[in-house]
Chain A
Amino acid sequence: MIAESTGLARKDLLGLEELTAEEIRLILRTAREFREVLDRPIKKVPALRGLTVANLFFENSTRTKMSFELAQKRLSTDSIGFAVSTSSVKKGESLRDTAQNIEAMRVDMIVMRHSESGAPRRLAEMVDAHVVNAGDGCHEHPTQGLLDLYTMQERFDDLRDRRVVIIGDIAHSRVARSNIHGLLKLGAKVGVCGPPTLLPMGLPELGVDVYPHVEDALAEADIINVLRIQLERMGVPLFPSTREYASLFGITPERLENAGHEILVLHPGPINRNVELDSRVADAPGSVILSQVTNGVAVRMAVTYLLAKTRLEAGHGAL
């Protein structure tokens, strides 16, 4: 009995930019099997018994944290959460201090959410433990990107040459970046759409098309990923009002109707209802927005499992 050997040949998951298309496909394939586990009467497997995971959320995020915790419990890991947002750590513990403390606790895997772009990368280089990026600043949110890809693949088996448009604040969105990298690797055609003040420099160099008008985006899109919009960043308003945003870029049944073809609508949540996304769209019978949440658990199980396996292999080699 010889098993296929197709692991993730990496210690950490920091972003989709650094993954190969093959690695992304492996994660999505594995997630499909975990998705089935979630429908079992007992939604838990003993696969990662003995693996200790620390969930370090230096920035509030109820949903992503819950999803990771659930994924870990489904795999029988021992998980601990640091309530960072309420402790003194919040303001000004250096990443090196964090790293040294984690190492001292003999943690095998760290799931990190941080307001600073690159913080998980820095941490990953300082610790032996696996590091999973649960969202860093405006950089990447790889598990969100993967669950978006998974959800898109549920509808369109092959994303090659599918037109996906990400709508909203591209400049400050880690979800947008992970989507862009992941989709391009899987051969999709990627566009973005939003107010010019929310579009960063260099998008064409990344291979991304810019749609100034949402109607044009919808006319060409097979899939749209609608981002949560924030009026202000660090006290600076980036567009005049949420009402104006809704009237220019909000996704309504009427706009979708005018596109003249079926469009799959994703939203990473939480939704600002009737701002970026009309409630009638969010709650439509075929909406996949809640499937995204379920798929998120499966994708995070797959990532945890595949990374943990590389650790076990390394540990085995050292024996």
Chain B
Amino acid sequence: MARSDLLIRGGRIADPAGDVLLPGDVLIRDGAIVEVASSIDADVPVLDATGLVVAPGFIDLHAHFREPGQEWKEDIASGSRAAVAGGFTTVCLMPNTVPALHDQERVRFVMARGREVGLADLRVVGAATIDIAGSKMAPLGEMAQAGCVAFSDDGHPILDSGLMRRILEYAGQFELPVVQHAEDTGLTRGGAMNEGVIATRLGLGAMPRCAEDIIVHRDIALLEITGGHLHIAHASSAVTMDLVREARERGLQVTCEVTPHHLFFDENWVASCHYDANYKMNPPLRASSDRDALIEACIDGTVDAIATDHAPHLPDEKEMGFGAAPFGVIGLETAFAAAVTVLLPHLSLPRLLRLFTTGPARVFGFDDRGRLEPGLRGDVVLLDPEAEFIYDVASSASRSRNSPFHGQRLRGRVVATVSAGRLVHGGGNRLH
């Protein structure tokens, strides 16, 4: 059944390691890349990439597929379909399912469901604490043995400084990063959007930016004594960018990701959206100066990865009133277009693609993907970076519809996705 041999021919290859697009073909056998050259002939099915850019499959460090426990919002099958529709061939799932992914059994369950579905390679970020309750360390070692790629209580911060210290220390022995959802919740309780005059006008609970800054600051201070690898999830603050730069200069292993929505939108969208909770996420959309700082940090390399924080919720759950609605938006299918629309004026396409490929691969230590080189996984996307379209969330493969990009004019389309040599999205008319 698995058609894992494929020749991708006639496109322009974007090698994230370089800075140019070169015409060339990619040959995949048994799911792995065997040759990348200017012209290849082989007796295998051919995917015609004429007029398109050929790039490594995308890696998402941060998504929520809600299985087990909340399959009405999303499940591993629908989430996988949304992933490959957005060009993602690797997705790292956060552990805040119901129940939480805090032991090797549950980690294995999710990875196995991902293999059954067989679209994208699903990896698991194991819970840092039991039930992501922030009090008792989860069995990090056993989860590492089961194949998890990082540890996090995402959705919640690890607030207790002593506990965070021990988790950083303990995770270090497995050389796996600790992913922090940086939010001092004492400052954000009851909050729904960024603090400032807009929140005041709208009468919405305020979440000050310093709630993120404080935790990032503290975690970097902890890292000084623990060593190990700290990864800041969905960074939204200009201060976070400065703190990450400065910590790296001191030799600390700190990485960070930003979401497409924090790059694309700022808090002014909340002012004009008429309380549409599809603009409610945590961290909230920040000031335009923060957004500018995130864009700048993508350009200067401070940001390692664009991660979607794909967080599905059903329309009825979002339509409870802005304050009561759950945080989060879907984003797998719009991530590339959002990034192209915002960043392409400032970054070459190969450099932009680093944020989806080599960047996230380095953060979670994937050495078998993220580039187009012989011996690596046959994960490839065909892109049309020029294509303009108005996004219609009704077209989404997700079970949910909570996208702030609905109705937005975007540029950059994922035309086809190849996962381990198999065409898993689009491109049917180009397959010969």
Interface residues of A (CB under 8 A from B): 17, 92, 94-97, 114-119, 121-122, 125, 136-140, 171, 174, 177, 200-203, 205-206, 233-234, 236
Q: Does B69 contact A (CB under 8 A)?
A: no
Docked complex Cα distance between A206 and B83 (Å): 43
Docked complex Cα distance between A138 and B319 (Å): 18
Q: Contact: A116 with B201, CB < 8 Å?
A: no
Q: Does B324 contact A (CB under 8 A)?
A: yes
Q: Does B134 contact A (CB under 8 A)?
A: no
Instruction: Give the interface SS of chain B, mostly helix, strand, loop or mixed.
Output: loop
Q: Which of A96, A206, A233 contacts B319 (CB 8 A)?
A: A96
Asked, given contacts A202-B201, A203-B200, A234-B189, whether A94 binds B275 with beta carbons under 8 Å apart, the answer is no
Pick out which of these stretches binds chain A: B202-210, B211-219, B226-234: B202-210
Docked complex Cα distance between A152 and B147 (Å): 69
Tell me, rounded to whole Å, the shortest Cβ–Cβ distance linking B287 to chain A.
11
Q: Which residue of B lies closest to A233 (CB)?
A: B190
Docked complex Cα distance between A117 and B205 (Å): 9
Q: List 12 A-B contacts (CB under 8 A).
A: A96-B316, A116-B322, A117-B202, A117-B323, A118-B202, A118-B274, A122-B275, A136-B203, A201-B199, A202-B197, A206-B200, A234-B190
Q: Does B315 contact A (CB under 8 A)?
A: yes
Q: Contact: B196 with A202, CB < 8 Å?
A: yes
Docked complex Cα distance between A174 and B203 (Å): 7
Asked, given contacts A201-B195, A234-B189, whether A95 binds B320 with beta carbons under 8 Å apart, the answer is yes
Q: Which residues of A contact B322 (CB under 8 A)?
A: 116-118
Docked complex Cα distance between A316 and B276 (Å): 32
Q: Does B374 contact A (CB under 8 A)?
A: no
Interface size class of B (residues with CB under 8 A): 20 to 34
Q: Contact: B274 with A122, CB < 8 Å?
A: yes
Q: Contact: A97 with B316, CB < 8 Å?
A: yes
Q: Which residue of A lies closest to B318 (CB)?
A: A94
Docked complex Cα distance between A117 and B199 (Å): 10
Q: Which of B195, B203, B276, B317 contacts A140 (CB 8 A)?
A: B203
Q: Which of B197, B205, B274, B319 contacts A201 (CB 8 A)?
A: B197
Q: Does B321 contact A (CB under 8 A)?
A: yes
Closest 4 CB pairs of A and B: A116-B321, A202-B197, A118-B275, A139-B203
Tell me, rounded to whole Å, the shortest Cβ–Cβ distance linking A319 to chain B.
31
Q: Which residue of A lies closest to B276 (CB)?
A: A122
Tell me, rounded to whole Å, the shortest Cβ–Cβ distance linking B197 to chain A.
3
Q: Which residue of B lies closest to A137 (CB)?
A: B203
Q: Contact: B189 with A236, CB < 8 Å?
A: yes
Tell me, rounded to whole Å, the shortest Cβ–Cβ distance linking B202 to chain A.
6
Interface residues of B (CB under 8 A from A): 189-190, 195-206, 274-276, 315-317, 319-324
Q: Contact: A95 with B319, CB < 8 Å?
A: yes
Docked complex Cα distance between A125 and B275 (Å): 11
14 new A-B contacts, CB < 8 A, other than A96-B316, A118-B322, are: A96-B315, A116-B324, A118-B202, A118-B321, A122-B319, A137-B203, A138-B204, A138-B205, A139-B204, A171-B200, A201-B196, A202-B196, A205-B197, A206-B201
Q: Contact: A117 with B274, CB < 8 Å?
A: no
Q: Contact: A177 with B274, CB < 8 Å?
A: no
Docked complex Cα distance between A174 and B317 (Å): 25
Docked complex Cα distance between A205 and B287 (Å): 15
Tell me, rounded to whole Å, the shortest Cβ–Cβ distance linking A175 to chain B.
11
Q: Contact: B274 with A121, CB < 8 Å?
A: yes
Docked complex Cα distance between A122 and B316 (Å): 12
Q: Which residue of B lies closest to A126 (CB)?
A: B319
Q: Which residues of A contact B320 (CB under 8 A)?
A: 92, 94-95, 116
Q: Contact: A114 with B319, CB < 8 Å?
A: no
Q: Which residue of A lies closest to B325 (CB)?
A: A116
Q: Which residues of B contact A125 (CB under 8 A)?
A: 274
Q: Which residue of A lies closest to B275 (CB)?
A: A118
Docked complex Cα distance between A118 and B324 (Å): 11
Tell me, rounded to whole Å, the shortest Cβ–Cβ distance linking B277 to chain A.
9
Q: Contact: B197 with A117, CB < 8 Å?
A: no
Q: Which residues of B contact A94 (CB under 8 A)?
A: 315-317, 319-320
Docked complex Cα distance between A205 and B201 (Å): 10
Docked complex Cα distance between A236 and B188 (Å): 12
Q: Which of A114, A117, A119, A203 has the most CB of B within 10 A?
A: A117
Q: Contact: B274 with A200, CB < 8 Å?
A: no
Q: Which residues of B contact A117 (CB under 8 A)?
A: 202-204, 275, 321-323
Tell me, rounded to whole Å, the shortest Cβ–Cβ distance linking B336 to chain A.
31
Tell me, rounded to whole Å, the shortest Cβ–Cβ distance linking B406 to chain A.
15
Q: Which residues of B contact A96 (CB under 8 A)?
A: 315-316, 319
Docked complex Cα distance between A119 and B202 (Å): 11
Q: Which residue of B lies closest to A235 (CB)?
A: B189
Docked complex Cα distance between A201 and B191 (Å): 13
Q: Contact: A119 with B316, CB < 8 Å?
A: no
Docked complex Cα distance between A136 and B201 (Å): 12
